[in-house]
Amino acid sequence: MQNKTFSLLPILFAIAAGTLVAGPASFAAVHHAAKPAAHKKAAPAVNTPPPLAAQTAVAGSAPELPAKAWLLMDFDSGVVLASANPDEALPPASLTKMMTSYIVEQALRSGKLKQTDLVSVSQNAWCRGSSTESCMYLPLNSQATVIDILRGIIIQSGNDASKAIAEHMAGSEDGFAKLMNAEAQRLGMTHTHFVNPTGLPDPAHKSSARDLAILARAIIHDSVDYYPIYAEREFKYNGIKQGNRNALLYTDPSVDGLKTGHTDEAGYCLVTSSKRNEMRLITVILNTSSAQARADQTRTLLGWGFSAFEKVSPIQPNTVVTTAKVGFGKVDSVAAGLGAPWLLTVPRGQQVQTAVEIQAGLEAPVAKGAVIGKVVATSNGKPVGEAPLVAQADVERAGLLQRMWQHIAKLFGK
């Protein structure tokens, strides 16, 4: 049975450590700051950013957070509920590894990679045990399975794992960076440029809070089979057990991912996802003062989000929303309704209005389930979401004589 004292280590590690600074160095820094030796100068004060108010917010009373940029996104719609400096390109540190893991996950989904494929550890990829970077501690010239490498990237934030899979998939870190940038472009990450798969500092290596939220949303949506790894609290490899540095995984059962990051230039960063009841929210904190601060600010942002917003269903499923006219069919109209349940995230207590748009010039044949329009929801005059309208029945094309008559009737405006 595991010793109870030892089981607390991942929690302490998660609270104290940054992503690119390995645990021992972080603990040492905390110790010396608290009790500096008599013959040494005390550690310099932490440079805490000033409180940053929301520049955009769907609801009132959004918090002020001392970070260079922050953002709250609704997962279902992708709508940004509140943000400050969401498009400022900043160093993302190990948040970069979300793109590295996403590319691996999509390769596994498509069959380009298999979980049991072996990945070799080159001299370039190998971590030498330095306390200044995070490692999976893959032995030099060894091989590891893709699924172990993926866990090493996500849970242990291994620079060695990230470099090894980059070389395996693209031949080099530079080649893999091209894959990363192509994927960023596909996802609409317009303020992002990747130089490497790790997030190690480079002046050209940048991303924004909005872009990182877009990436987190893609991971949750597209990597269903692998997303549970982001919630795993620890991973043991090569006899070394390391804890996930996301402190909220240990304190908030609604949190199930995603990634921490830290370098001197990037500060302390955190991208988190939390699901409570039917609502999932994504938060991004960039460049704050400590591992504790990024956790606290995320808790504040999630607390505000879940209290300020609610899920509503403007139209119930299996409801006929409207009747659409159909040309040249055996019948001249078809019922239109929602193809799936529709939930919106809106400010708590706020009314939602809907408007229907039907495809112009709709003609038979029309298959049941075919998209024939959409319904748009607004609140306080602002769009808050839309959903497709689908045909509720088949409409067969009319026979030749009937179509001729319909043509004539159309000419005379009947």
What is d(CA 124, CA 163) in angstroms, rounded to the nearest whole number? 8
C-alpha closest to that of 158 among 118, 199, 187: 199
| Residue 97 falls in the annotated catalytic set | yes
**Which two tokens mark 125?**
């990829």
Radius of gyration for the alpha carbons in the chain, expressed in angstroms and rounded? 26
Which residues, at least 6 apart from 291, have a Cβ–Cβ distance to it below 8 Å? 14, 15, 16, 17, 18, 26, 245, 247, 260, 262, 268
Residues 18 and 291 sit within 8 Å (Cβ to Cβ): yes
Angle between helices 97-110 and 159-170 (to 10 degrees): 40
C-alpha closest to that of 257 among 209, 210, 224: 224
Per the residue annotation, which of 68, 97, 163, 206 is the catalytic one?
A: 97
Distances 294 to 104, 153, 232 between C-alpha atoms, Å: 27, 20, 19
Q: How many CB atoms lie within 10 A of CB 386?
A: 17
Per the residue annotation, which of 26, 83, 101, 157 is the catalytic one?
A: 157
| Residue 333 falls in the annotated catalytic set | no
- The 8 Å CB, 24+ separation contacts for 189-194 are 189/214, 189/215, 190/87, 191/87, 191/88, 191/89, 192/89, 193/89, 194/96, 194/99
What does the angle CA 228 – CA 254 – CA 66 come to, to the nearest 5 degrees? 105
* Length of the chain in terms of residues written: 414
| Residue 83 falls in the annotated catalytic set | no
Per the residue annotation, which of 26, 68, 83, 94 is the catalytic one?
A: 94
C-alpha closest to that of 83 among 104, 102, 58: 58
What is d(CA 290, CA 305) in angstroms, rounded to the nearest whole number? 22
Question: Which residues does the annotation mark as catalytic?
Answer: 94, 97, 157
